[in-house]
Amino acid sequence: MLKIPEKDDAIMNWLGVLISAALWFAAPPAFAALNVFACTPEWGALAKELGGDKANIYVATNALQDPHHIEARPSLIARARSADLVVCTGADLEVGWLPLVLTQSGNPKIRNGQPGYFEAARQVVLLEIPTLVDRSQGDVHPGGNPHIHLDPRNIAKIAAALNERMAQLDPPEAGHYRARSKAFLDRWQQAIARWEKEAAPLRGIAVVGYHKNMSYLNQWLGIREIGNLEPKPGLPPTAAHMSELLARLARDPAQAVVRSAYNDPRAAEWLSQNAKIPAVTLPFTVGGSDKARDLFSLYDDTLARLLVVAK
């Protein structure tokens, strides 16, 4: 039997190393198939539910930022430059910053009208569409109220459409997205049934809001919003308006004053103290509280906070 000399053993070992290295570099790198740029945390959370490890999610804002007032920072432009899919609300919610980010990114895949551009608001029926728009009315959205994500039935419609868009952009993984979408929607419908049962005591209660950003939540749960801390949408509370609101509550009492985590708390606290009603801070979106870690816990925490005032 022929024995290979030790020198040849060393040569064979080096050849093995070189071949392994060549194969490693030739193999396609393991990375997420889709780079998703989500404008707000709720859409980042939804894209993660649908994409799993096949989607690399970047969220442009956080729960403590007012989504109306975001700066088109260079870091956002850089992220958009490498995006395959932009997922935003639309209905003019991001009109102050997103168009500039998309233009400056130089990324043709995510321009408005391209498959890489997805607006959630186009998938649902919008509330509060104004018949007349002028600056005297405040910051009114011409297409309707864009704060659509706090009705879970809207989330279901948007998830179905977003799943198909992700499958279109990444055909080899289409089965993966559709399987995850089915699993998510099955869990989501079960959760909606549970939430609606738990929220029954909220039907008919009256609240004062801060901005008109809880309309979809209120409609879903049957909550009456009898006023807002903002005198007009987008305008900060004034002393005169707060006094007027307090007088109104003497005639038509409310169970609570409700604000989002990103709203300034001072006006809500003033009205709470003077009207003798609790002030409730809702997470509004994923990350808005310690408990609102994903879409499911966002609704769990929102209902838990509201139900305190219904007891």
Q: In order of start, what are the domains of the chain with their CATH numbers?
A: 34-195 (3.40.50.1980), 200-310 (3.40.50.1980)
Residue 136's pLDDT is what?
55
DSSP label at residue 29: P
**pLDDT single digits (tens) 237-293:** 999 999 999 999 999 999 999 999 999 999 999 999 999 999 999 999 999 999 999
Q: One-letter amino acid identity for 219?
A: Q
- Both tokens assigned to 214: 């809880």
Q: What is the mean pLDDT of residues 174-194?
A: 98
Residue 68's pLDDT is what?
87
Residue 311's pLDDT is what?
73
Q: How far apart are CA 8 and CA 17, in angstroms?
A: 14
Q: How far apart are CA 288 and CA 307, in angstroms?
A: 18
> Looking at the predicted structure, is the pLDDT value of residue 71 above 90?
yes
Lowest mean pLDDT among 130-139, 221-230, 285-294: 130-139
Residue 17's pLDDT is what?
39
Residue 4's pLDDT is what?
39
First vs last Cα of the chain: how many Å apart?
A: 90
Q: What is the model's pTM?
A: 0.88
Written as one string, the DSSP assignment of 130-175 is -SS--GGG-S--TT----GGGSHHHHHHHHHHHHHHHHHH-GGGHH
Residue 32's pLDDT is what?
52
Residue 133's pLDDT is what?
66
